[in-house]
Structure 1
Amino acid sequence: MFYDATDASEPVLAFHSFRFFPARRTLYEDDRPLRLGSRAIDILHVLLERAGETVTKDQLIARAWPNTVVEEGNLRVHVAALRKMLGERHIENVVGRGYCFITPVVRSDAGAIPHASATGPDAASAAAGGQSSTVYLPQSDGLPPCATRIFGRDQTVEALREQLAERRFVTIVGTGGMGKTTAALAAAERMQGHWRQGTVFVDLASLTHPGQVPQALAAALVMEHPAAMSAADITAALRSHHMLLILDSCEHVLEAVSLLAEQILHGAPGVRLLATSREPLRAEGEWVHRLPALELPPEPAPDAPPLTMAQALSYASVQLFAERVQASAAGLALGDAEAPQIADICRRLDGIPLAIELAAARVELLGIRGLVARLDDCCYLLKGGRRTAKVRHRTLEATLDWSYALLGERERNLLHRLSVFRRRFSLEEALSIGADSREGLEEAMDALSSLVSKSMLATVADTGAARYRMLETTRSYAAAKLAESGEHDVILAHYVALSGPPR
């Protein structure tokens, strides 16, 4: 069952026969809902919140048209529409400055005002102690648009929906480029009807300091003076809200997000959290959902007939590759002759959506066979990318740079050394490569655990003992770092002595 916050006190702003519910963005006259556009709703909300004060034209325009330059005439049109609906006597034009809502407004909970027609100066004074919400919410549904189709995430989306039905805090964890944000947005889109105030998306990737986390959330919630908002202020404002918050790209501000999340969970019972991160937040109440790679065609069995394109397209990784090839090289035919090679490409890229997208973009230049030939040089693929993507997703190299920057020195050294394994490896092998002495075993164990947690290593659950593997794109990146470190020859010799020549 989803948490139902409808019995929580809901803020209401009332005057004469009208009641305005900020959380629902709905205006009633007596018991009849009135139709208003989103711009008019924003303008009315500000005027009611600041009843008795002059609100400047610039302030109203900034609220109704954020990040957009509009003419003052647009504001006059919407104010005129409000006056026509409410009556001329409520909104006063302050010449040369702006507008003022001059009618007394009762600020209280919905249950405290059965009908707003009883309002007046005395009622307004009586309700002066009521707390009004400072969360205005975005004008849209709060979700950034998805520019491309989503492949192979139906089971993930359904699992996330079920998890959010039972738990209030879920974190999607996976390596860079795995599609964590895409999965979160898809799950939120499918669940839009579950939240009374909808969903708000908070992009934390651009933050440079943990102290900016509350400000980013306050800005996404369209609160006034977001730079001055603390976690306590935000939690108080969300206390009566019923909504989903998506906290995207948390890995570089983990502690700050963890503290904020715990505070919201304790203080705002109608709010649920869906986070994305390259490692768990380890916060109270967190449920971790590890995002798998896209489904891959299996390795061909000996003497098996060649894979057909129809068969290959039953796998999400191939569907994504084919769609991106058509988008970048329109008219290029992909048939049965290319199917085995495309399956090989997707397997060698470990089913990582970003890697597959960037590889597909090279097909116009190289062709399928040329791309297969260049896959041994993953560094070539690390460099290509989309200009319009977020900085950390423009290239595979940028994605891995982002993760690498979050590692400590011991974690980086171990990552470099483990790049000599082109196969799965055991805990004992990892420690043999990673520890310089018996005394260093514990440090190597801690670094190995951290690399798994931060999605730089994958665990393999196909044997009784723990085994690990490094995604090929990560391995290529780490191998380049190993070459730069000056340890390459020593570590390779150790590896050869341990298990024979690299395979």
Structure 2
Amino acid sequence: MSVNIDFGTETILQFGSFRFYPYKRRLLQGDRPVRVGSRALDILQVLITRPGEIISKDTIIAQVWGATVVEEINLRVHIAALRRALGEGRTGERYITNVPLRGYGFIGVVETLAASPATQLRESQLSNLPVSLMGLVGRDDFIRHLIAELPRTRLLTLVGPGGMGKTSLAIHVADKVRAHFTLTCFLDLSKDPDGVSLHHTLARMLGEPTGQPALLLLDNCEHLARVCAEAVEHLLRLHPALHVLATSREPLRAEGEHVLRLPPLDVPKTTELSLEQAMACSAVQLFMQRAREVSQRLQLRRAQVRAIIEICRRLDGIPLAIEIAARQVGVLGLVELAALLDTQYHLQMPGRRTAPARQQSLRATYDWSFCQLSTSEQLCLRLLARMRGAFTLDAAVDLLDDARLCPECIFAAVHQLADKSLLMVEQGERGLAYRVPNIARAYILSPPGAASPAV
């Protein structure tokens, strides 16, 4: 039985969790575009319009390649690519069959639908957001806040130190609010060293002003803060319906910017807790999730629970640091992992192979941040790293007074270090206090020969 397609209308062919739009030549799984080559998409169109029939290889080749002479191996290669795109072998679903010496057929149940106005609107909501493969832990309040604020805030910058999970949170929230925007654009700036072509890139992504609501997610803006501020202000004036969500280790300081600082995950206040009590804290929840992914036989005794709490506290509740540490449990063990944090070697613990270069170890993360500092800021941070625990602004000034810096430079450096998320600002009993995070201190005080940063 063949399927009639009017290529001038919004005909939709639905099978399983997939929807194929012949007129637009688009294949979606749920609301996500499926990456598939042009030839494979042509083959799908030939097969799906005659579901249940076995179509000869010669017929498929003639319809897909026309008069071009191709070998049968080309057809097999594109069939294999199409099967991978449809998830055959992973999901248990099977859509394409091969009958030796005869040809191929589409064996899935195909429904022919006409797109409703609501469906057409939803499909016009284009997006290039990356797909998140892991869920978020301990960020429910921030997700709700961002979802409420983003549609009514034109420029919102999510700020925090490296490894705090800004990118994951921003992508998650942008995906949640996609229904509010016709166009959602994602741009990772970490691979752009100088931002020379940023204005051109953004203009190409957004196109001419249309009056339709659009969301731009600018990721990793810290090394291009000034360029990003200028570009964003220009775009917001040019596109009256544009909203921008940025992630950065410091605010852009652009006109109309709303800044939301992302804090660490919750850590236990004391090590004398049961596992059930400790699991009330999001840092411990994340550690246990990642540890059990690499060590299914994780057996917890009292000393090991204490070690988990100590690890999360020593790592400042920073998600990336906790994830990297948790993945070493299967090799080191919990107590041994906690002891490793007393050395600088934990900075070299490997992260995911597929992570960006700046997140493949804690040292790489802080290399990225340290390189964004001025010479005076680097000097001040090295001196402040000698202070353990929280300290006041006056104590910082006293320490830095003999660093051959003028008082104005000292105040500016402390302010900038806090702005760039390398000094934590805490509310103490006597007012605001500052603290160098444990990982940053370990990085700064690494002994010579351990790739310690030079000033």
TM-score (norm 2): 0.73
Post-superposition offset of 1:348: 1.0
Post-superposition offset of 1:482: 8.7
Post-superposition offset of 1:411: 0.5
Are 1:393 and 1:399, in contact at CA under 8 Å, matched by a contact in 2?
yes
TM-score (norm 1): 0.66
Q: One-letter code of the match for 1:160?
A: L
- In structure 1, which of residues 137, 152, 161 is the aligned counterpart of residue 147 of structure 2? 161
- Pairing 1:379-458 to 2, within 5 Å after superposition: 379-436=345-402, 440-458=406-424
Aligned to 1:88: none
Give the Cα separation in 2 of the matches to 1:198 and 1:41.
Answer: 20
Change (3 A) 1:150 1:76: closer
- In structure 2, which of residues 247, 270, 273 is the aligned counterpart of residue 299 of structure 1? 270
Runs of 5+ consecutive residues of structure 1 not aligned to the other structure: 1-17, 19-26, 45-64, 83-92, 97-136, 222-233, 301-305, 488-503
Check if 1:322 corresponds to 2:308: no
Check if 1:200 corresponds to 2:170: no
Give the Cα separation in 2 of the matches to 1:70 and 1:158.
Answer: 39
Give the stretch that moved more between structures: 452-461 or 323-332.
Answer: 323-332
- Pairing 1:39-438 to 2, within 5 Å after superposition: 40=22, 42=24, 70-71=38-39, 74-75=41-42, 141-195=127-181, 197-217=182-202, 221=205, 234=206, 237-300=208-271, 306-436=272-402
SS state at 1:210 partner: coil
Post-superposition offset of 1:149: 2.2
Give the Cα separation in 2 of the matches to 1:201 and 1:138.
Answer: 17
Q: One-letter code of the match for 2:387?
A: F
Give the Cα separation in 1 of the matches to 2:213 and 2:354.
Answer: 34
Are 1:378 and 1:473, in contact at CA under 8 Å, matched by a contact in 2?
no
Residues 61-107 of structure 1 show CA distances to partners (whole Å, capped at 9, x for unaligned) of: xxxx9986553x7448759999xxxxxxxxxx9999xxxxxxxxxxx
Q: One-letter code of the match for 1:409?
A: T
Give the Cα separation in 1 of the matches to 2:327 and 2:443.
Answer: 20
Q: One-letter code of the match for 2:419?
A: S
Are 1:262 and 1:283, in contact at CA under 8 Å, matched by a contact in 2?
yes
SS state at 1:199 partner: strand
Give the Cα separation in 2 of the matches to 1:317 and 1:202.
Answer: 29
Give the Cα separation in 2 of the matches to 1:341 and 1:363.
Answer: 11
Post-superposition offset of 1:480: 2.3
Aligned to 2:110: none
Change (3 A) 1:41 1:352: farther
Give the Cα separation in 2 of the matches to 1:42 and 1:260.
Answer: 33
SS state at 1:272 partner: strand
Residues 155-182 of structure 1 show CA distances to partners (whole Å, capped at 9, x for unaligned) of: 0111112221431110000000000011
Q: One-letter code of the match for 2:215?
A: L
Are 2:294 and 2:327, in contact at CA under 8 Å, matched by a contact in 1?
yes
Change (3 A) 1:216 1:80: farther
Aligned to 1:303: none
Residues 417-466 of structure 1 show CA distances to partners (whole Å, capped at 9, x for unaligned) of: 11101111111221122232686211111111111111110111123333
Q: One-letter code of the match for 1:155?
A: D
Q: One-letter code of the match for 2:436?
A: M
Give the Cα separation in 2 of the matches to 1:356 and 1:403.
Answer: 19
Q: One-letter code of the match for 1:154?
A: D
Give the Cα separation in 2 of the matches to 1:138 and 1:390.
Answer: 31
Post-superposition offset of 1:200: 2.2
Change (3 A) 1:348 1:268: same
Q: How many residues align?
A: 368
Give the Cα separation in 2 of the matches to 1:270 and 1:204.
Answer: 23
Post-superposition offset of 1:372: 1.4
Residues 344-400 of structure 1 show CA distances to partners (whole Å, capped at 9, x for unaligned) of: 110111100011011111211211110111111144234422211111111111111
Change (3 A) 1:317 1:76: closer
Q: One-letter code of the match for 2:193?
A: T
Give the Cα separation in 1 of the matches to 2:238 and 2:334.
Answer: 55
Give the stretch that moved more between structures: 421-430 or 183-192.
Answer: 183-192
Give the Cα separation in 2 of the matches to 1:146 and 1:430.
Answer: 41
Are 1:170 and 1:286, in contact at CA under 8 Å, matched by a contact in 2?
yes
Give the Cα separation in 2 of the matches to 1:418 and 1:367.
Answer: 33
SS state at 1:170 partner: strand
